[in-house]
Chain A
Amino acid sequence: MTIGRDTAGLIRLSEAVDAFLAAQSAPPRAEYRVRLVVEEAVTNVIKYAWPDPTGACTIEFMLSRESNDFVVRVKDNGVAFNPLLAPQPDFDTPADLRRTGGLGVYMVKRASDSAAYRREDEHNILELRIRGDE
């Protein structure tokens, strides 16, 4: 599924993810984690991948089941950015005093059993795996 950098696209995407997870009879915990990483990863791309948008901004999204794992792939044509290298939020500072940013990526890393990033042909490609048996 391909969407643009608008929240309406993410909402359509979420509905498609819901349908897929239901068809796969995903266990509740896996379902929550998949929804979370999709929401956070795609929101992060929408917010930050195109600081000065010119031309088409596209996000290619794929969700599949491989062996028992759910595999999320997010590919965008935005600026080069590896979210896996982003620093985590400053949890020593109370949440209401903390600088905003970083929480979504932190939650992606925490909710995924494995995560990999590569830059290929002017695209960011993020692949996340979530175990589907819990």
Chain B
Amino acid sequence: MKTTDNAALDAWYVIGRPEDVAPHRTYRTRLLGQDLAVLTTAADRLTVHAAEGAGYGPALPVAVKHGHIWTTLGAPDRGILDIAESVEPDRKLATCGAVRVRVSGLRLVENFLDMAHFPFVHTDILGTEEHAEVAKYDVEIRRDVDEVWATNCRFYQPQAAAHADSGQVSNYMYRVASPFNVVLYKTCPAAPERYDVIGLFVQPVEPDVSLGYAFVLVVDDESTKTALIQFQQKIFLQDRMILENQRPKLLPLDPRSEMPTRADMSSVAYRRWLKEKRLAYGVFERSAA
């Protein structure tokens, strides 16, 4: 059943990629408890409808951006996030498609923001135990754009990206553009003055079931799209094993339930920001089915 949480409804969400919708077939999915049908019309245009019994409701707002299909069940007060790097002609966009994770989508976003797990979950790729320390970084809730940003993040990485052949200290910035959409900007090994963009768009299916869409927008002449996708999927599947085994499955916002340290400052800001929005969907204390 569709949620009644307006804070969740009034936002744009990814529900698939254009290539996931086969021509003349109905692509079915679920967003915030609402069953949806995605159709291609005779003119090869996509339409998205709420599935109602055996039929469909009227067309919902739909857009294709950053290689994904977006829709909304409510009235968002802003558009789909912009990523400035997406217009640069030498960028490769590689999208991984949906990976199902049995946990609140908010835990997916929080895991994406976290560096302290790199040595243990992505061992010898994104981190190593000998370099486990997380240096102090900066976090702010940017009120002008209503986004959470973490900047000045640094971490030593044995293999920072698909095309990295040696270790480096990566510089990161994290940007939470909306409760279920997050990107990071990191030092590009091929062009150190530019940033690679890696993102995760989360489709909340149920409060404790999510689809994660990982993607990269990188400066890389050497790697094939397949290699980029395989690298990101490997990372994501390592995270999934953790995500599906966090308890509770919904994200607690009460600061006393889970104990943060200084390395967790971005997650502390993210949780506070969610609390300000009075978001209930996927949140432990407020049950919004």
State yes or no: do A and B come from one complex: no
